[in-house]
Amino acid sequence: MLREITLGQYYPADSVIHKLDPRVKLVATLVYVVSLFLFKGVVGFAVITAFLVLAVKLSKVPFLYMIKGLKAIVILMILSALFNLVLTPGINPVFVLGPIKVYPEGVRMAVLMLIRLSYLIVGTSIMTLTTTPNQLTDGLETGLAPFSKIGVPVHAIAMMMSIALRFIPILIEETDLIMKAQMARGADFEKGNIIQKAKNMVPLLVPLFVSAFRRADDLAMAMEARCYTGGAGRTKMKPLRYGKADALAYIVLFAFLATVIVLRIFGY
């Protein structure tokens, strides 16, 4: 019953985007997010939309799959649109209801906010859908490697991330299993008020924590048994190397960024 959660889940497919170096995808996501907050007018918006559509098409991931992520933030989107609508000051109100005044500027801000948020989710989900968690942390580790010179424990952070990501599906499965096991003993996770519901969670949470700690312990032991000592001097079985496709992707990316910046300067 918990299987449907798509928390940055990898969607296997054979596409150009899947094969790109994770560092390219990380940079691309960053550039894309920045561009979302740079554009001012319709032309800029059109360029970004074209970029997004191109990425979605190339990724070969069904579009519906990406939209799923939007469901989780529907409330956030509605709230932020509402606040922007009501709280943005202006001159000529288009709509007045008691103390609430809606100005054209507010409408503009609300629409912009909705577009930005939904584009943000869909765009970033392309990265998580086309990159396995392992590739992602690999990319982060190599990409952030220069920062280790100033004392940032890059390897440790990347290792923690990859372990955390790796355990998400396992813990989801475990939750599902324990829930079923307790339901088989007559537990009910739906009935009652909030306090009752919280109490009903005890038979689920206690075994889940116990098992999470047990797994963490086992993993730590297994890593130590294989002489894991951290990042210094560690080599990789599959080191990341840029290919031709990656170079091309960088060119497209910087062309895109340059276009967005130029458009911004001229106010389109």
Partner 1 sequence: MSIILDHVNYTYSTGTAYEIQALKDINLTIEDGQFIGIIGHTGSGKSTLIQHLNGLIKATSGAIYYNGQDIYDEDYDLRTLRTKVGLVFQYPEHQLFETTIFDDVSFGPKNQGLSKEEAGLRAFEALSMVGLDENLYYQSPFELSGGQKRRVAIAGVIAMHPDVIILDEPTAGLDPKGRDEIFDLISKMHEEKNITVVLVSHSMEDVAKYVQRIIVMNDGEVMFDDTPDEVFKHYKELEQAGLAAPQVTYLMHELKEKGLDVDVNATTIDEAKRSILKALC
Q: Which residues form the interface with partner 1 (CB under 8 A)? A: 3, 11-13, 65, 177-178, 180-188, 202-203, 206-207, 210-211
Nearer to partner 1, 149 or 185 (CB): 185
Contacts of 39 (CB under 8 A, 6+ apart): 45, 47, 48, 260, 263, 264
Classify residue 190 by its DSSP letter: S
Cβ at position 257, least distance to partner 1 in Å:
32
Contacts of 190 (CB under 8 A, 6+ apart): 197
Cβ at position 207, least distance to partner 1 in Å:
5
Cβ at position 17, least distance to partner 1 in Å:
15
Contacts of 80 (CB under 8 A, 6+ apart): 113, 117
Nearer to partner 1, 222 or 265 (CB): 222
Cβ at position 210, least distance to partner 1 in Å:
7
Nearer to partner 1, 6 or 259 (CB): 6
- Residue 12: name the closest of 112, 128, 151 by CA: 128
Nearer to partner 1, 40 or 60 (CB): 60
Q: Is 124 exposed, middle or buried (CB count within 10 Å of its CB: 0-12, 13-18, 19+)?
A: middle
